[in-house]
Structure 1
Amino acid sequence: MRIISTRSHARLDYMYGILLINAPWIFQFNDGTIAEWLPVLMGVATIFLSLFTHYEGGLFRAISFKTHLLLDITGGLILMAAPWLFHFSHEVFLPHLALGVFPVVGSLITKTVPYNRRIAYSVW
């Protein structure tokens, strides 16, 4: 069941990117290791992906929205697995796991066609 509009997804993307960038300080794992820098880099990547996506929040619109959703899912899975892939699960894992679930679930419940395009398609 896809309940999130593409417009809402765009807004959530930017908020999520900012949350990822600030997560090491919010959740207090800012120790200069990959545990800290991975969410920061993924947050920056999320914002850049949003800027280049062809949806209401995109500025340059070079990437299709379906590709965006696939990259969201991939990034979320990487973030969820990172504590074990990069061997820092003994120090911190819950923020990465929780923050990784968000884009996976969000992508699975987001509509894939903007509202204005759905109207145009439904006429015929």
Structure 2
Amino acid sequence: MTLLSPRHHGYIDYAAVALLALAPLALRFGAVPTSVCYVTALAHLVVTLLSDHPLGAARKIPFAVHGALEFSLGVGLLASPWLFGFSDEVPARAFFVVGGIGLLIVVLATRYTAGVISRPAPYDRYDR
């Protein structure tokens, strides 16, 4: 299932970073889930900015590696409530489980090899 182009995936990445950064305020998380959200948002932002896709800034990380990192981030989001001990906070637990599943769906729906075989150079600003 490859429905998302690298450009669309980039849009979703930045939206996920914003969602991770705003969720603790909107859903009134406790201290631990708030910290996990902010650290995850920062890590996801750095990976997105450094990835070789049309919306990446530095383009140092190959897009396929970006996909592997994002897969591990999705699994980490799913496990966070139990790993960090906030599984009794229902809004935070629900957010992390739904967010992890959503991120894994995005990973499965993205064409990480789009353009890799046909283009020897990284994407330029105009997706060429």
Distance 1:15 1:88 in 2: 24
- The CA RMSD over aligned residues, in Å, is 1.6
* Partner in structure 2 of residue 13 of structure 1: 13
Structure 2: any 5+ residue segments left out of the alignment?
120-128
Q: Deviations over 1:4-56 (max 9, x none)?
A: 11100011101110110111112221x3x221110111111111111100110
* Partner in structure 1 of residue 125 of structure 2: none
**Which runs of structure 2 are paired with 1:59-74 in the superposition (5 Å)?**
59-74=57-72
Distance 1:109 1:7 in 2: 13
Q: State the number of aligned residues.
A: 117
State the identity %: 29
Q: TM-score, normalised by structure 2?
A: 0.84
**Which runs of structure 2 are paired with 1:1-124 in the superposition (5 Å)?**
1-29=1-29, 31=30, 33-92=31-90, 93-114=93-114, 117=115, 120=118
Q: TM-score, normalised by structure 1?
A: 0.87
Shift of residue 60, structure 1, vs aligned partner: 0.5
Structure 1: any 5+ residue segments left out of the alignment?
none
- Residue pair 1:39, 1:79 contacting (<8 A) in 2 also: no
4+ residue runs of structure 1 moved beyond 6 angstroms? none
Distance 1:10 1:104 in 2: 15
Shift of residue 69, structure 1, vs aligned partner: 0.6
